[in-house]
Amino acid sequence: MFSSDLIQRFFFPQDLDHNSGFFFRCEISSLFHSIILTYFCIFVCLVFWYHYIVPLKNEIELAKAYVEIEKARFEERLEVVFEVPEDLEVNVPRLMLQPLIENAIIHGILPKPEGGKIDVLVKQEAKQLVFKVNDNGIGMDTKKLLDILKQEKGNGVGIANIDSRLKKLYGKGLEIQSSHGEGTEVTWNIPLNGRGN
């Protein structure tokens, strides 16, 4: 699995001396990160595309791996805190958590010169699994939120597509709360006795 530990070992090896390690980190270019993200996307397609339902731990590892790449790129401008179960063995629909974290980074955090923080929560409540992605980014008004949810739903993994997939699987889509200048919280629930669990 393409885990955050693998990224750390491969791209930021600990056996470099202090100075060379610092130099290596500072010299990473935008082009380099574009290449890494491209390979990341290829990996995701190869591993996840033919598996509609995946173990929760895989979905979390994928999200953490993506975050490590972005944190290496944006450094102190980006803080992401995960609060997730370590040993909960359930299956979930693929590629929902990572795209919503990516959306929070690109559209919420990065437009702020000082950056910001994203809290990622996954927890079990009664007979359902609750996911939350909360950022303190620029937020959006009601009109923009409605425009996003009304976007044409294709084969991608954007907000509108994820909302549509959840509704088809469980009858309920994303819950999004956002205020301009204050940030956005995206919540969704998956029944633990539902399809794929």
Q: What is the CATH number of the domain that holds 53?
A: 3.30.565.10
Which of 37-41, 52-56, 67-71 has the least mean pLDDT? 37-41
User: What is the b/e burial string over 101-130, where b = at least 16 CB atoms within 10 angstroms of the residue's CB?
Assistant: bbbbbebbbbeeeebbebbbebeeeeeebe
Which residues span the domain enclosing 164? Answer: 4-191
Task: Evaluate if residue 49 carries a pLDDT over 70.
Answer: no
| CA 60 vs CA 3, 55, 70, 113, 174: distances in Å | 9, 9, 16, 28, 18
> Which residue has better confidence, 120 or 18?
120
Q: What is the pLDDT averaged over residues 16-21?
A: 41
Task: Evaluate if residue 11 carries a pLDDT over 80.
Answer: no
Tell whether 164 is covered by a domain.
Answer: yes
Tell whether 40 is covered by a domain.
Answer: yes
Task: Give the confidence band of 12 by pLDDT, cuts at 50, 70, 90.
Answer: very low
| CA 73 vs CA 26, 36, 66: distances in Å | 10, 11, 11
Q: How many domains does the chain have?
A: 1
Tell whether 59 is covered by a domain.
Answer: yes
- Of 185, 174, 4, 150, which Cα lies nearest the Cα of 96? 174
pLDDT of res. 15: 42
Q: Specify the amino acid at residue 122.
A: V
Could you report the per-residue pLDDT of 149-184, keeping only the tens digit for each?
A: 776 554 445 888 899 999 999 999 999 999 999 999
Tell whether 72 is covered by a domain.
Answer: yes
Tell whether 76 is covered by a domain.
Answer: yes
Q: What is the pLDDT averaged over residues 83-92?
A: 90
Tell whether 153 is covered by a domain.
Answer: yes
Task: Evaluate if residue 139 carries a pLDDT over 60.
Answer: yes
- Of 120, 101, 121, 117, which Cα lies nearest the Cα of 109? 117
What is the layout of strands, in order, in the sheet containing 116-125?
78-83, 116-125, 128-135, 183-191, 175-179
pLDDT of res. 60: 92
Q: What is the pLDDT averaged over residues 39-55?
A: 63
HSE-up of 39 (CA within 13 Å, CB side)?
9
Task: Give the confidence band of 68 by pLDDT, cuts at 50, 70, 90.
Answer: confident
Tell whether 136 is covered by a domain.
Answer: yes
Q: What is the mean pLDDT of the chain?
A: 78
Task: Give the confidence band of 17 by pLDDT, cuts at 50, 70, 90.
Answer: very low
Tell whether 196 is covered by a domain.
Answer: no
